[in-house]
Amino acid sequence: MEPSSRPLTLLRTAAGSPPSVSQYRAFQALGCRVVAVDCDPAAVGFHFADAAHCVPRVGAPGYLTRMLEICRAEGVDLLLPALDEELVLCARNRARFEALGTRLLVSRPEALQICTDKLKTYQLFRELGLPTPATVTAADYREGALEGFPLVVKPRSGRGGTGVHVVRNHREAAFFASYVADAVVQEHCPGDEYTIDVLAEPEGEVRICSPRRRLAVDSGISSRGATEWREELLAPVRRLTRALGLVGPVNIQCFIAEAPRFTEINARLAGTAILSQAAGVPYFQGILGMARGRPVEPWLKPAAPVVMFRYWEELFRPPEARP
């Protein structure tokens, strides 16, 4: 890692995703130089980054080679993948990135394979004794296999709201279980949905924990949310991160009615983590501190009460303009 006297260069993927711009601005406000990549040459984040590059789609030939080339050319200090599909691939090639001086704040491939598989995540919750909605594969789904309706049919590996369907009867459940590729069928959770922003040091030690409640969702992305401390979430979050040995930014999802029921572990920086940052939680500072090899100051307490509202904002450029 280069001395801290020069700006830290951060590479973020998925420059076309809706949360990219606010995250770039937050990291830049902390003195970072942001390099953005995306498979779409017209990705909006390219116009807000300090440098921008087009890459093949994740898993396509040349993706990894191109990412390594960019890290070398741009002197990238820290790579934070934004997509679940990238996590295992990057983690398996950690040594190749580190040979270039690029640090990855991502967990071990074995842990990521659990986090990116909703059936394995469910099984882990059960093993740890954490409340979670009953889940079966589409192949194992039969009428009466799960108690009551509605149910949720979703891809076993996926992100956001893509491919997620709430079904009201067995006929709908059977249809979507066959329609959605490699699906799982899950009990529907009543109550309020929470996302918990977590920053974990090696061996899964939680240094930052910031719950926020989803108030409105649009296409799987939180469009309105609020910070809200829930003391009862801290112990199970610690149990999860320690069990998997998670490292770096993580977000954990649950629903709370009478008690929490855990649904997902996303071992990456959440798109809406900017809410925790805006509420005074030094979350992005902690990420950069880890990249510098510094200890993270703990934040295991309520954040400022903040409500986030999201809205569209337009960017206008002449046709020939390129980042």
Q: What is the pLDDT along the chain (323 residues), one digit of tens a residue?
A: 444 568 999 999 999 998 999 999 999 999 999 999 999 999 999 999 999 999 999 989 999 999 999 999 999 999 999 999 999 999 999 999 999 999 999 999 999 999 999 999 999 999 999 999 999 999 999 999 999 999 999 999 977 678 899 999 999 999 999 999 999 999 999 999 999 999 999 889 999 999 999 999 887 788 999 999 999 999 999 999 999 999 999 999 999 998 999 999 999 999 999 999 999 999 999 999 999 999 999 999 999 999 999 998 899 988 877 66
The model's pTM is: 0.94
Q: What Å distances lie between residue 48 and 15, 30, 141, 160, 188, CA to CA?
A: 9, 15, 46, 23, 39
Answer yes or no: are the C-beta atoms of 159 and 170 closer than 8 Å: no
- The structural domains of the chain, ordered by start, are 9-104 (3.40.50.20), 134-187 (3.30.1490.20), 190-309 (3.30.470.20)
**What values do phi and psi take at 212, rounded to 5?**
-145, 145
121 alpha-carbon distance from chain centroid: 15
- The neighbouring-strand residues paired with 316 are none
- Reduce the DSSP state of residue 279 to 3 states and report it: coil
